[in-house]
Copies of this chain bind each other. A is one copy, B any other.
Amino acid sequence: MGLLVVGSVAYDSVETSADKVVEVLGGSATFFSMASSLFAPTYVVAVIGEDFREGELDRLRRRGVDVRGIERVPGATFRWGGRYSPYFTTRDTLFTELNVFSDFQPKIPVEQTGAELVFLANIHPALQLDVLNQMKGPRFVALDTMGFWITGEREKLLTVLKRIDALFLNDEEAFALSECGNLVTAARRIRAMGPRILVVKRGEFGSVLFYDGHALAMPAVMLEHVVDPTGAGDTFAGGFMGYLASQPVIDVRALQGAMVTGTVAASFCVEGFSIDALERADLSALAQRHQQLRTSTASLDMDLTHARDRATSRG
């Protein structure tokens, strides 16, 4: 029954040290679905304005994304503008124009309320809760949020956290939510708030999955030509959730596969502005990069215990 994502479809304007784009396709639900739809039927619930170019929706449709839940309403589409420092070490938000997004009241099409997996992208926790109340018992729910809600709508966020399976955060958000600066401790505290799974996104340093008291750290793909990191986190979540949706059982093995898939998907996202590079990446491109990542995280049969004996006997 596929995967439902509720989030934003937006126009982004992005400046980097090398280039600049204006009003290109962006938004959490856009990046997420462009990745997830490679692995599982994906339904997007979002809102766009009168000014939204129909051709942009075709890009999602061509990927097989179901866009019937994207509502077009009077007004302008959500716009975001940001500027990255050289080498993407910091990002400044230049403007955020919520426009039609400020009155977003997600309505899940009735035929999509049975989706097996749900991803609640970064929106007001009250809306995230409202979406869950419209669904017919999905088997796996994941949520993304940000510092603004963690500090400003903490109680509502804590309420929705009790009803989800997995939470996606970056280090800073995990520290803010747990009020603690060690990631392992933070993960323990956050898992005690409800989600049994915490995924910490660390940008170029990769990601960490916390579950059942274990931590699975995954390095990112090392890239020489980064164009624009915007959307990488949502793309990671899309690869992660899409892979889970393709699995008969969500167990440790499926979660490991989801981490790899999210990592690989995000590596394509950052190689272009908007969804440009992600759109060009098909399943075989992802599979190829997975092989590369696999080599780079290769585990080994090593007999550490007898290493010194060998060294001494060789001496």
Interface positions of A (Cβ within 8 A of B): 1-2, 37-41, 86-87, 89, 181-185, 188, 202, 204-206, 208, 214-220, 222-224, 226, 242-243, 245-248, 253, 256-257, 260-261, 264, 283-284, 286-287, 290, 293-300, 302, 304-305, 307-308, 310-312, 314-315
Picked from B206, B264, B300, the residue with its CB within 8 Å of the CB of A260 is B300
A217-B215 in contact given A283-B307, A297-B297, A304-B286 (Cβ < 8 Å): no
- Whether the pair A222, B248 counts as a contact (CB closer than 8 A) is no
- Whether the pair A290, B311 counts as a contact (CB closer than 8 A) is no
Q: How many whole Å from A6's CB to the nearest CB in chain B?
A: 19
- Whether the pair A219, B217 counts as a contact (CB closer than 8 A) is yes
- Whether the pair B246, A308 counts as a contact (CB closer than 8 A) is yes
Q: How many whole Å from A236's CB to the nearest CB in chain B?
A: 15
Picked from B1, B182, B183, B243, the residue with its CB within 8 Å of the CB of A307 is B243
Picked from B40, B204, B297, B308, the residue with its CB within 8 Å of the CB of A283 is B308
Q: How many whole Å from A15's CB to the nearest CB in chain B?
A: 17
> Which residues of B are found within 8 Å of A86, using beta-carbon distances?
181
Q: How many whole Å from A264's CB to the nearest CB in chain B?
A: 8
- Whether the pair B296, A182 counts as a contact (CB closer than 8 A) is no
Q: How many whole Å from A219's CB to the nearest CB in chain B?
A: 3
- Whether the pair B182, A257 counts as a contact (CB closer than 8 A) is no
Highest count of chain B CB atoms <10 Å: which of A188, A202, A299: A299
> Which residues of B are found within 8 Å of A219, using beta-carbon distances?
206, 208, 217-219
Highest count of chain B CB atoms <10 Å: which of A184, A286, A297: A297
> Which residues of B are found within 8 Å of A224, using beta-carbon distances?
182, 184-185, 188
A314-B217 in contact given A181-B86, A182-B226, A287-B304 (Cβ < 8 Å): no
Query: Could you write out 7 A-B pairs with CB less than 8 Å apart?
Result: A38-B308, A87-B181, A89-B181, A184-B224, A205-B205, A246-B310, A284-B305
Picked from B37, B215, B222, B294, the residue with its CB within 8 Å of the CB of A300 is B294
> Which residues of B are found within 8 Å of A41, using beta-carbon distances?
311-312, 315
> Which residues of B are found within 8 Å of A294, using beta-carbon distances?
299-300
- Whether the pair A205, B208 counts as a contact (CB closer than 8 A) is no
Residue ID in chain B nearest A287 by CB atoms:
B304
> Which residues of B are found within 8 Å of A223, using beta-carbon distances?
184
Picked from B248, B256, B290, the residue with its CB within 8 Å of the CB of A314 is B248
> How many angstroms from the CA of A305 to the CA of B300 in the assembled complex?
26
Picked from B242, B284, B315, the residue with its CB within 8 Å of the CB of A1 is B315
> Which residues of B are found within 8 Å of A264, using beta-carbon distances?
304
Q: How many whole Å from A75's CB to the nearest CB in chain B?
A: 35
> Which residues of B are found within 8 Å of A206, using beta-carbon distances?
205-206, 217, 219
Q: How many whole Å from A295's CB to the nearest CB in chain B?
A: 8
- Whether the pair A299, B299 counts as a contact (CB closer than 8 A) is yes
- Whether the pair A261, B304 counts as a contact (CB closer than 8 A) is yes
Q: How many whole Å from A296's CB to the nearest CB in chain B?
A: 5
